[in-house]
């Protein structure tokens, strides 16, 4: 793999911040974008910008084809059974809200939803809202001593016959990985629906819906080298068809009169209003970009780099790593002594290093760690050893300054 030429395709990475080259270790928050994505979006606006699905004219039909082609690309990317199972959203958050809102009519007082303790708020708060509206209970699935999902606790909770289990595939805060295939199989055996938050997975590994065995899968374009403002909800056709639409209005209807409205078929039924057309096209370019890479080699590259990062960071006296397992993906979480994570972030920033500091939209998890927040360094396919070395050197300088 020619990693240098891959990295060269990300223009934002080729910049200096004062005396330092940019060391971008915040890919879990949002990834940088390759030229292919930037060019696809610009070309759409320059040459065939029009609204989709609505007009007979040539530009609109080109825009519609380009938009719908991305749905087909996603069928292939996700191993979906049919194109109607792909719903464009504005991101993971909207995708999960779409399901949690859409299922309200199917939940009753006393029903149970299980949520991964490491879940991002986007995969917790919508279930709490559903619970508030229906009297359903939401319970956390605990973590074991290694801060991985506790399989024994999970089994005990499954015995209570939950109606739905919401899991993250990869924790955005820790980088820990859930065995989705096994967890979904267990949940299904107990009659539960499953929703998987794949926001931190799709950029790092190929995913296949048939193999994972979940019922719903959500992710964002901007974390997988695509643009912001677009995400995807995949769901089993019958389950998607049973969702009450979150948004209603144009595009999603079959017939409308003042007396009544009949909703249209999937996927339009769940895509009310003008969709993020250029962003969908940008996402299509990101998928094409990823699919033309040697993904196996990239996974090995990222795994090697993450392990190197974990080792080098752990060797700095005063550093505390959280759940830094060798099989983690994409991110390492840490604190330094009793220093506030934001202070570390500011000191690193002064040396050109971008990391994320805070609760990582996982406050319940921070509670389990016994901290208010932490720093997180996260990697993408473009990250290299020079990034890690610059970060480690900057962290050592912080340590010297603060001790
Ligand atoms: C695991 C996970 N789920 C959900 C989200 C929310 O994604 P978005 O803000 O793109 O909707 C994020 C973003 O950080 C995430 O990391």
State the CB neighbour count (10 A cutoff) for residue 44. Answer: 23
> Ligand 1 atom closest to Cα of 95?
11
* CATH architecture designation of domain 38-291: 3-Layer(aba) Sandwich (3.40)
Q: How far is the CA of 236 from the centre of ligand 1 (A)?
A: 22
Question: Considering only CA atoms, which of 276, 281, 200, 282 is closest in space to residue 33?
Answer: 282
Spatial contact of 206 and 13, defined as CB atoms under 8 Å apart: no
Q: How far is the CA of 98 from the centre of ligand 1 (A)?
A: 14
Predicted confidence at residue 55, as pLDDT, reads: 78
Please tell me what DSSP assigns to residue 284. H
156 Cβ contact list (under 8 Å, min separation 6): none
Domain ranges in the chain with CATH number 3.40.640.10: 38-291
| Token pair belonging to 136 | 């359903």
Domain ranges in the chain with CATH number 3.90.1150.10: 3-25+294-402
Per-residue pLDDT of the chain (403 residues; tens, 9 = 90+): 899 999 999 999 999 999 999 999 999 999 999 999 999 999 999 999 999 997 789 999 999 999 999 999 999 999 999 999 999 999 999 999 999 999 999 999 999 999 999 999 999 999 999 999 999 999 999 999 999 999 999 999 999 999 999 999 999 999 999 999 999 999 999 999 999 999 999 999 999 999 999 999 999 999 999 999 999 999 999 999 999 999 999 999 999 999 999 999 999 999 999 999 999 999 999 999 999 999 999 999 999 999 999 999 999 999 999 999 999 999 999 999 999 999 999 999 999 999 999 999 999 999 999 999 999 999 999 999 999 999 999 999 999 999 8
Predicted confidence at residue 54, as pLDDT, reads: 78
Topology of domain 3-25+294-402, per CATH?
3.90.1150
31 lines ligand 1 (CB under 6 A): no
For ligand 1, atom 13: residue with the closest CA: 29
Q: How far is the CA of 122 from the centre of ligand 1 (A)?
A: 6
3-state SS assignment for residue 348: helix
5 Cβ contact list (under 8 Å, min separation 6): none
Distances (CA, A) of 334 to 121, 338, 381: 20, 11, 21
Spatial contact of 234 and 201, defined as CB atoms under 8 Å apart: no
Rounded to whole angstroms, how far apart are CA atoms 62 and 282?
A: 15
232 lines ligand 1 (CB under 6 A): no
- Ligand 1: which of 199, 328, 330 to mutate, most ligand atoms within 8 Å of CB? 199
Spatial contact of 154 and 112, defined as CB atoms under 8 Å apart: no
For ligand 1, atom 16: residue with the closest CA: 172
What are the two backbone dihedrals, phi and then psi, of residue 195, each rounded to the nearest 5 degrees? -120, 130
Predicted confidence at residue 387, as pLDDT, reads: 98
For ligand 1, atom 12: residue with the closest CA: 199
Catalytic residues: 361
Please give the angle made by the CA atoms of 331, 35 and 172, to the nearest 5 degrees.
15
Predicted confidence at residue 208, as pLDDT, reads: 98
Alpha helices in 53-164 (DSSP H): 58-78, 92-102, 125-134, 151-158
**At how many degrees (to 10) do helices 92-102 and 125-134 cross?**
20
Predicted confidence at residue 93, as pLDDT, reads: 98
Q: How far is the CA of 254 from the centre of ligand 1 (A)?
A: 32
Spatial contact of 374 and 298, defined as CB atoms under 8 Å apart: no
- Ligand 1: which of 124, 172, 228 to mutate, most ligand atoms within 8 Å of CB? 172
Spatial contact of 273 and 247, defined as CB atoms under 8 Å apart: yes
Predicted confidence at residue 1, as pLDDT, reads: 80
168 lines ligand 1 (CB under 6 A): yes
93 lines ligand 1 (CB under 6 A): yes
Spatial contact of 228 and 217, defined as CB atoms under 8 Å apart: no
Rounded to whole angstroms, how far apart are CA atoms 158 and 322?
A: 27
Distances (CA, A) of 12 to 28, 147, 334: 16, 34, 26
């Amino acid at each position: 793999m020619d990693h240098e030429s891959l990295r060269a395709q990300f223009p934002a990475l080729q910049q200096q911040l004062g005396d330092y080259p940019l060391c971008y270790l915040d890919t879990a928050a949002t990834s940088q974008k390759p030229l292919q994505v930037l060019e696809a979006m610009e070309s759409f606006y320059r040459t065939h910008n029009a609204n989709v699905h609505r007009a007979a004219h040539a530009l609109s039909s080109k825009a519609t084809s380009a938009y719908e082609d991305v749905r087909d690309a996603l069928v292939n990317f996700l191993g979906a059974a049919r194109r109607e199972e792909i719903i464009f959203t504005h991101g993971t958050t909207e995708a999960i809200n779409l399901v949690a809102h859409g299922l309200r009519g199917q939940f009753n007082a006393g029903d149970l939803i299980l949520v991964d303790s490491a879940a991002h708020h986007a995969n917790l708060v919508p279930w709490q809202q559903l619970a508030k509206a229906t009297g359903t209970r939401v319970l956390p699935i605990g973590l074991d001593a290694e801060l991985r999902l506790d399989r024994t606790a999970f089994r005990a909770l499954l015995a209570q016959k939950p109606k739905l289990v919401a899991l993250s595939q990869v924790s955005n805060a820790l980088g820990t990985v859930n065995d989705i295939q096994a967890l979904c199989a267990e949940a299904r055996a107990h009659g539960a629906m499953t929703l998987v938050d794949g926001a931190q997975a799709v950029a790092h590994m190929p995913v296949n819906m048939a193999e994972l065995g979940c019922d719903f899968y959500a992710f964002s374009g901007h974390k997988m080298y695509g643009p912001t403002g677009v995400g995807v909800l995949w769901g089993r056709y019958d389950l998607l068809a049973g969702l009450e639409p979150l948004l209603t209005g144009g595009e999603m209807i079959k017939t409308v009169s003042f007396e009544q409205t009949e909703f249209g078929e999937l996927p339009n039924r769940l895509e009310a209003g003008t969709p993020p057309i250029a962003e969908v096209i940008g996402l299509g370019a990101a998928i094409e970009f990823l699919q033309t890479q040697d993904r196996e080699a990239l996974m090995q590259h990222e795994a090697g780099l993450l392990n190197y990062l974990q080792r080098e960071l752990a060797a700095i006296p005063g550093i505390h790593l959280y759940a830094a397992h060798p099989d983690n993906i994409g991110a390492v979480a840490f604190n330094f002594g009793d220093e506030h994570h934001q202070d570390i972030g500011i000191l690193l920033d002064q040396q050109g290093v971008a990391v994320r500091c805070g609760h990582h939209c996982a406050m319940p998890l921070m509670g389990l760690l016994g901290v208010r927040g932490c720093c997180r360094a996260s990697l993408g396919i473009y990250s290299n050893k020079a990034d890690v070395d610059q970060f480690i050197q900057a962290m050592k300088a912080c340590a010297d300054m603060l001790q």
